């Protein structure tokens, strides 16, 4: 899925509404699907991402189901406030099955866009059960810093949590680049930020979080997670930086 900048969407507002129910597309449905695709294609081009024509169907289907999103389960361990707001939160996520794609494109936005296009196809139909699986949030992007901690490594792992009904028996992806992985329980310290996610904004948010958290050796310094909760068409979309706690 292409990433959309704030500048794009301050003018465009929300993306066009998706067509109606499933089944055989009417002429109006096809026209609406075409408008959706053109919208995403224009935005994708600003991030040097080519949007294949076969993404028109998954884009329309995801837009139709945009309000039905299952949260990834977790337990809140503690919240730390600052000025009456939660500055950061410690959480524990249970073990679970995730569909993962790894990319190493020149730009962070390119890697996550190309990975999520693959996951969109898997979610919508390109799976062994041949049906829409359902969207879960957040989608995770695991990143690594260079040794001097000034840049992101190119390789990014994008992960989609399998909905509860598919956790025991995950549908098999048709795309060999998608791997179903059972991830171990994870304890993280999280902080919310809003807007677009680029290498520059991510590095800034990591540095701000370290300033807030202070010196500690309880979390990893080389690996982080960027959690995305909302459709990229939302200008002030919610994201989180996750600091990964070391095993106890």
The Cα–Cα gap between 148 and 174 comes to: 39
Domain ranges for the chain:
69-245
Q: Provide, rounded to the nearest whole percent, the portion of the chain with pLDDT above 90.
A: 56
pLDDT interval class at 215 (50, 70, 90)? confident
Q: Where are the beta strands (DSSP E) in 155-248?
A: 156-161, 179-183, 186-194, 219-228, 238-245
pTM above 0.85, yes or no: no
The Cα–Cα gap between 80 and 90 comes to: 8
Residue 60: per-residue pLDDT? 73
The Cα–Cα gap between 6 and 12 comes to: 10
pLDDT digits (tens, 9 = 90+) for 123-179: 998 999 999 999 999 999 999 999 998 999 999 999 999 999 999 999 999 999 999
Residue 169: per-residue pLDDT? 96
Q: Which of the residue ranges 8-12, 84-88, 219-223 has the most confident prediction, judged by mean pLDDT?
A: 219-223
Evaluate if residue 213 carries a pLDDT over 70: yes
Residue 41: CB atoms within 10 A of its CB come to 18
Kind of pairing between the strands at 186-194 and 238-245: antiparallel
Q: Provide the CATH number for the domain formed by 69-245 in this structure.
A: 3.20.80.10
Instruction: Kindly state the average pLDDT of the residues 228-242.
Output: 82
Retrieve residue 161's tokens. Answer: 């949590």
Residue 68: per-residue pLDDT? 74
Report the candidate in 105, 103, 80 with the shortest Cα–Cα distance to residue 91.
80
Is 79 in contact with 144 (CB distance < 8 Å)?
no
The Cα–Cα gap between 244 and 189 comes to: 7
pLDDT digits (tens, 9 = 90+) for 21-62: 444 456 667 777 777 767 666 666 666 677 767 777 777 777
Is 56 in contact with 37 (CB distance < 8 Å)?
yes
The Cα–Cα gap between 68 and 186 comes to: 25
pLDDT digits (tens, 9 = 90+) for 51-108: 767 777 777 777 776 767 899 999 999 998 766 566 899 999 999 999 999 999 999 9
pLDDT interval class at 197 (50, 70, 90)? confident
Comparison of pLDDT for 230 and 188, the residue scoring more: 188
Helix axes 56-64, 27-46, angle to 10 degrees: 100
Mean pLDDT of the chain: 83
């Amino acid at each position: 899925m292409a990433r959309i900048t704030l500048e794009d969407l301050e003018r465009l507002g929300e993306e066009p509404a998706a067509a109606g129910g499933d089944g055989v597309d009417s002429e109006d449905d096809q026209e609406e699907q075409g408008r959706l695709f053109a919208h995403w294609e224009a935005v994708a081009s600003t991030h040097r991402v080519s949007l294949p024509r076969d993404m028109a169907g998954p884009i329309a289907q995801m837009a139709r189901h945009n309000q039905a999103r299952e949260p990834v389960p977790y337990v809140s361990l503690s919240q730390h406030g600052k000025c009456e707001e939660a500055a950061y939160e410690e959480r524990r996520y249970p073990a679970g099955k995730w569909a993962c794609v790894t990319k190493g494109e020149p730009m962070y936005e390119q890697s996550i866009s190309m990975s999520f296009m693959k996951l969109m196809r898997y979610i919508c139909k390109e799976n062994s059960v041949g049906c829409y699986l359902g969207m879960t949030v957040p989608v995770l992007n695991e990143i690594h810093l260079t040794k001097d901690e000034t840049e992101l490594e190119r390789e990014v792992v994008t992960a989609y949590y399998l909905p509860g009904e598919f956790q025991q028996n995950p549908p098999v992806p048709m795309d060999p680049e998608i791997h179903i992985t059972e991830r171990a329980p994870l304890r993280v310290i999280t902080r919310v930020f809003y807007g677009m996610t680029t290498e520059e904004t991510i590095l800034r948010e990591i540095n701000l979080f370290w300033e807030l958290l202070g010196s500690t050796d309880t979390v990893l310094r080389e690996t982080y997670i960027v959690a995305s909760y909302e459709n990229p068409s939302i200008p002030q979309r919610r994201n989180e930086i996750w600091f990964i706690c070391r095993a106890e």
